Structure 1
Amino acid sequence: MAKQLKRKLKTYQTSLGFYDQAIAAPSMKAALAAWGASSNLFHQGVAKETDDPDIVAATMAKPGVVLRRPVGSDGPFNESAELPTDLGEGETRPRRRSKSKSGSQKRPAKTARTASRAIDDAAARKAAAAFEKEERRREAARVKEEAARARERARRDKAVTAAEAALDKARREHDAKAEAIEAERAALDARAEAEQERWDKQRKKLEQALRRARE
């Protein structure tokens, strides 16, 4: 843990979908994992390390948290970014975020000293600790989601097993009753046949007696 806390964070930036995304992470691999990227965006040229002081300051204030802004804009990065306002108008880039009504928020030019200032060791350790905390939060959320999915699978499997068992039991009961009914039917058929034979013999005797009586 101590070695991880000493790892200095870097700010990485990419564009995915409708947003530019930035994050303070100890490595490109960690950044890709936080972005949920399925391929190496850095090798593809759509992600990079940035030293823009505004972006660095924003990400270092929330290490490990993915910050966003509408793609192509130069507004500040934050956790909740608005969608570009000109979607579907055929422009290749979204409008830049408008300034406040006062019009007095134009940022002053950054001096070379400001742009190149480095975070001191204490701040780096604090940022790294915050990044690891965010990583643990994400991992805990992932574990929680997987546990919930596992519980749902177990519940579903249990329900399926119970339904299959009920179906099998009902089928066995049906088969047993059907066999009993078939056995009863066979017995009745045998009785009916025997009764028919008995009657045929009796009828013949009685008919013969009737004929003799008429003679």
Structure 2
Amino acid sequence: MPREPKIKAKRKLKTYQTSLGFYDQAVAAPSMKAALEAWGASSNLFHQGVAKETDDPDIVAATMASPGVVLRRPVGSNGPFTESAELPTDLADEGKAKPKRKPKPSKRAEKTAKKPSRKIDDRQARQAAAAFEREERRREAERRKEEATRAKERAQREKAVAIAQATLDKAKREHEARAEEIEAERTAIDERAEAEQSRWDKQRRKLEEALRRARE
């Protein structure tokens, strides 16, 4: 009996959260590695203790609505995560550090803490996973496009370098050939000069001897 083809199951998404710079960041991803890639992190933030998986219902709902998209909010705030977040309003003025005060939990935060986690049903999970994969494909397409652009620019630079090098080599060969011709001409002139000097020395000695005899 022929076996039925296996259908590749979509990866279940989880919500991960971290703080980078002035922002808290969250993303729905199938793994910690995928979350780190989405954040553009160069080190393992989870091992460093600055990233974690979260089950906060509001954060989970926001990230599952845009799987694979990094959402942000001002660091230390309790506001909603969005794709475009403003800078924190309590940054120190004129470079003076202000003492850190533990923020007083808002009523909304207290209610959120008391609220039971909202479970994502299977259909939403499948939709979120599919959306995440689409986002991954979009990012991969962008990476390939950027790599192709860089490769084209690199090829153009290499071609320009090759042309410049060939031009330099040709000019150098022409210079060396001319220098050899000049050196050959200089050698011939030196030989002629030596021959002329030798001829003159002989003639001068004869003429001086004739002059000396005429004076006697």
- TM-score tier by shorter-chain length is 0.7 to 0.9
Please list the CA deviations of residues 36-83 of structure 1 after superposition, one character each: whole Å capped at 9, or x if unmatched: 223322233221111211111110110000001111101111111111
Partner residue of 1:61? 65
Q: Distance in 2 between matches of 1:93 and 1:170?
A: 71
**2:167 is aligned with what amino acid?**
A
Q: Does structure 1 retain, via aligned residues, the 8 Å contact 2:56–2:117?
A: no
Deviation at 1:146, TM superposition (A): 2.0
Partner residue of 1:3? 8
Q: Secondary structure of the equivalent of 2:8?
A: helix
Which of the residues 88, 92, 103 maps onto 2:100? 92
Please list the CA deviations of residues 160-181 of structure 1 after superposition, one character each: whole Å capped at 9, or x if unmatched: 2222222222222111111111
**1:90 is aligned with what amino acid?**
K
CA distance 1:187–1:111, change in 2 (3 Å): closer
Deviation at 1:211, TM superposition (A): 5.5
Deviation at 1:91, TM superposition (A): 4.0
Q: Does structure 1 retain, via aligned residues, the 8 Å contact 2:78–2:109?
A: no
Please list the CA deviations of residues 114-170 of structure 1 after superposition, one character each: whole Å capped at 9, or x if unmatched: 743322222211111110011111111222222222222222222222222222222
Q: Secondary structure of the equivalent of 1:179?
A: helix
Structure 2 alignment gaps of length 5 or more: 1-5
**2:76 is aligned with what amino acid?**
G
Q: Does structure 2 retain, via aligned residues, the 8 Å contact 1:73–1:94?
A: no
Q: Distance in 1 between matches of 2:174 and 2:103?
A: 72
**1:135 is aligned with what amino acid?**
E
The answer to whether the aligner puts 1:73 opposite 2:77 as a matched pair is yes
Percent same amino acid at aligned positions?
Answer: 75
Structure 1 alignment gaps of length 5 or more: 100-105
Q: TM-score, normalised by structure 2?
A: 0.81
The answer to whether the aligner puts 1:31 opposite 2:39 as a matched pair is no
CA distance 1:83–1:42, change in 2 (3 Å): same
Between 1:35-44 and 1:200-209, the stretch displaced more is 200-209
Count of residues paired in the alignment: 206
